[in-house]
Chain A
Amino acid sequence: MKEFFVGSELLDILEKVEAGERLSREDGIRLMKSNELLLLGYMADIVRKRKNGDYAYFIVNRHINHTNVCENLCKLCAFGKKPDDPEAYTMSLDEIEARALECRDLNISEIHIVGGLNPELPLSYFEEMLRRVRRALPGVVIQAFTAVEIDYLARRENLSIREVLERLMAAGLDSLPGGGAEIFSPRVREKICERKISGERWLEVHRTAHQLGMRTNATMLYGHIETPEERVDHLLKLRELQDETGGFLAFIPLAFHPKNTGLESLNLSRTTGFDDLRVLAVARLLLDNFDHIKAFWIMIGPKLAQVSLAFGVDDIDGTVVEERITHAAGADTGQCLTRAQLVNMIKAAGRIPAERDTLYNIIREGS
């Protein structure tokens, strides 16, 4: 019933989408600037259906943020603290192990560990952490440490990225999360995270991980000072690397939350519902070589996350307990959705709920 969209300015792109053609940078920019939200969703839904049928995925997982001490102290972040800050914390290996043991009977399939760049923590801390978590949670996938943390460890220990990744893998690391990508544009990084690794370096870490056989995720932090063009270029860099390695599992846009960050003074507002759905839909359209687009309900709220299933999304993340980073920046979402709530959300949107593992193998279907 695409005749409902007669008169739209994007019909040439709709034709390309229907034909399965790759979209250009110019197409991407037009999409990213468009207010034709429903047509964006309609097009993204075509691609989503093609790739994932009626399945909508979620994962039962837990997050651990082992330290908030961070040398980078990016302006975009409300989580990182100086070592002498009264709110600074670093979890001991025993604490982390205890936290992992608490998850033992929860039937989780993935544990997600990320933290700040803490100069006190040597590579051996991370190796031991992985060994203990692996022991505490046999069979659970450990998805840990962003490219930024991997790079930091390499520099701290005078090792190559490859060597660091190999040692962490030997200790139990399965997969890298997609954090730290922000926006690849150097102009933006200079203003929101000037001490963070470059976009090229981020891509290099993921390329190396893929070469070592690891699957990883990719993200984009949007809704601060980036332009539509910079968003599109970010997506195209990811598409390029995915063409080369095929190692990315999912793309996860992250809505910027300004509260308590170094960018609060810019008086940036939270992202709107239109923008959240637009970014998800355009990502689905441009990233034709990514299997999965994930909406992080912690960031955009459960209601909009459910709606995003009609805008290209096939994954609504997981049952997260104790997420600190987004909440430090003023996210007012809860800390947890139960499995039953996620299943109900997906069913009510007309999709088949599929509890997945990290590699999108279906663990349990339907209920």
Chain B
Amino acid sequence: MVNRGKTDWERALAAAVAGKRLGLEEGVALFHCPDLTLLGQAASIVRRRFHPEKVVTFIIDRNINYTNVCICRCRFCAFYRDPDHPEAYVLSQEEIFQKIEETIAAGGTQILMQGGLHPDLPFEFYLDLLREIKKRYNIHIHSFSAPEIYHFSRISGLSIEEVLHRLKDAGLDSIPGGGAEILDNRVRHAISPRKISWEQWMEVMTTAHRLGMKTTATMMFGSLETVEERVLHLLRIREVQDETGGFTAFIPWTFQPGNTELEEQFAGVDSGGFDYLRTLAISRLLLDNIPNIQASWVTQGAKMAQVSLAFGANDFGSTMLEENVVRATGVCYRVPMAEIIRCIKDAGYRPAQRDTYYRIIRYFD
């Protein structure tokens, strides 16, 4: 095909569809594509290469937020509380067991435990929790985002590798990709000045991958980042994936300003559906080495999550029997499993429950 006379975004889009790897400039050019359906179609072509079967997966799991006490105090977060705040809490093991039992009863295979960076809980608290869970239940523990792992390293004086070793020995199976926000320190400094740097986030991921643990990667966009910084984020993940192959999925979601320090600054500036679908599709086009892209009904609602299946997403995420962090911003979508299944079927796909490693457990026909 002769590409002369075409615009940059047309060339980049054609290259991605032809299976070529895109660079920073090409990624940025894609954000200038005015035609949302073409971006979606290109992403669908690439997605079909990864997933020729017409299946869309989801996982049954529960988010368990063991504490909301957090010394990181990110400006974009509405969930955290200071230690002396009346709403501050730490869940007991009994409460956590109760939640796990409900998850198993609902057909769940995984728990996603995440919490704030609590100043007083010792590292042993987490190890003990993992051991006690594994002693009682046959469930996959997908827990502790990179900022928590880093926090454990600080409070214990152990290296990241040693922390991960011990967590793994105690029962940790895999690590969620939260806390990535935008993997560039200019943005991090502006929205989460006390959070680990992007290099530190990546260090946790590469170390986990080296130890044989799988992780996901996320991106929270629509705050103060530029389009270039979004693309940079994607390329940094792609580079590590080339090295380790440890990322199972990429999950982009949008910043929700409600009840956060940034709320006023972002009043009325919703990162809309257009930007979400465009960014999702571009993620699919740039991340040529990550097999799965998740839709985010938690931030977008069921309708948009379904539409995202036409924009590169092949996974509906989790049934999330419980979710607290996004809900704290005042955004509250509830999408029960039956609705997830209906959305997948209605879009022309076969719904399937999967495990953490994207192996199919059962189909819903």
> With an 8 A cutoff between CB atoms, is B272 at the interface?
yes
CA distance A29 to B17 in the complex (A): 30
Docked-complex contact A274 and B347, CB < 8 angstroms: yes
Residue of B40, B307, B339 touching A274 (CB-CB under 8 A): B307
Q: A309 — which chain B residues lie within 8 A by C-beta?
A: 274
Q: Is A276 a contact of B303 with CB atoms below 8 Å?
A: yes
Interface size on B, residues (CB 8 A): 38
- Identify which of A5, A303, A311 contacts B276 (C-beta below 8 A): A303
A348-B268 in contact given A37-B307, A42-B37, A310-B37 (Cβ < 8 Å)? no
Mask: chain A, 308-330; 1 = CB below 8 Å from B; 0 = not: 01110000000000000000000
Q: Complex: how many Å from CA A305 to CA B270?
A: 13
Interface of A is mostly: helix
Q: Please tell me if B134 contacts chain A, counting CB pairs below 8 Å.
A: no
> Are A38 and B41 neighbours in the complex by a CB distance under 8 Å?
yes
Residues in B whose Cβ lies below 8 Å from that of A338: 268
Q: Across the interface, name the chain B residue whose C-beta is closest to A2.
A: B38
B45 pairs with A301, CB closer than 8 A:
no
When chains A and B are docked, how far (Å) is the Cα of A311 from the Cα of B41? 13
B272 x A37 contact (CB < 8 A): no
Q: Tell me if A4 and B273 are in contact (CB < 8 A).
A: no
Q: Does chain B have a CB within 8 A of A306?
A: yes
Q: Chain B contacts of A310 at CB under 8 A?
A: 35-37, 274
A1 cross-chain contacts in B, Cβ below 8 A: 10, 13-14, 35, 38
The complex places the Cα of A231 from the Cα of B270 at a distance, in Å, of 33
* B interface SS class: helix
Asked if A349 contacts B274 (CB within 8 A), the reply is yes
With beta carbons under 8 angstroms apart, the residue of B17, B273, B301, B306 that contacts A306 is B273
Interface size class of A (residues with CB under 8 A): 35 or more
Tell me if B350 counts as interface (CB < 8 A to partner A).
no
B14: chain A residues at CB < 8 Å are: 1
A307 to B305, CA, bound (A): 12
Contact check: which of B37, B272, B306 meets A41 at CB < 8 Å? B37
Binds B, one of A61-69, A74-82, A168-176, A339-347: A339-347
A186 within 8 A of B: no
Q: Is the CB of B40 within 8 A of A341?
A: no
Chain B contacts of A42 at CB under 8 A? 35, 37-38, 41
B304 close to chain A: CB less than 8 A: yes
- Measured CA separation A117–B299 after assembly (Å): 40
Distance in Å: Cβ of A200 to nearest Cβ of chain B: 32
A180 contacts partner chain B, Cβ-Cβ < 8 Å: no
Provide the bound-state CA to CA distance between A306 and B38, in Å: 16
Question: A336-365, CB under 8 A of B: which get 1 and which 0?
Answer: 001011001100111000000000000000
Tell me if A348 and B301 are in contact (CB < 8 A). no
Question: With A and B bound together, what is the CA distance between A120 and B10 in angstroms?
Answer: 63
Contacts of A341 in B (CB 8 A): 268, 270
Chain B residues contacting A349 (CB-CB under 8 Å) are 36, 272, 274
Which residues in A have their C-beta under 8 angstroms from that of B276?
303
Residue from B13, B34, B307, B346 in contact with A350 in the complex, judged by beta carbons closer than 8 Å: B34
Q: Is there contact, CB below 8 Å, between A304 and B348? A: no
Residues of B within 8 A of A344 (CB): 268-270, 272
User: Which 9 A-B residue pairings sit nearest by Cβ, starting from the closest?
Assistant: A303-B273, A273-B303, A35-B348, A310-B36, A41-B37, A273-B307, A307-B273, A42-B37, A4-B41
Where the two chains meet, the residues of B that have a C-beta atom closer than 8 Å to any C-beta of A are 10, 13-14, 17, 34-38, 40-42, 44-45, 268-270, 272-277, 300-307, 310, 339, 342-343, 346-348
14 interchain pairs, CB-CB under 8 A: A5-B41, A269-B342, A272-B343, A272-B346, A273-B305, A302-B272, A303-B270, A306-B274, A307-B307, A309-B274, A338-B268, A341-B268, A341-B270, A345-B272
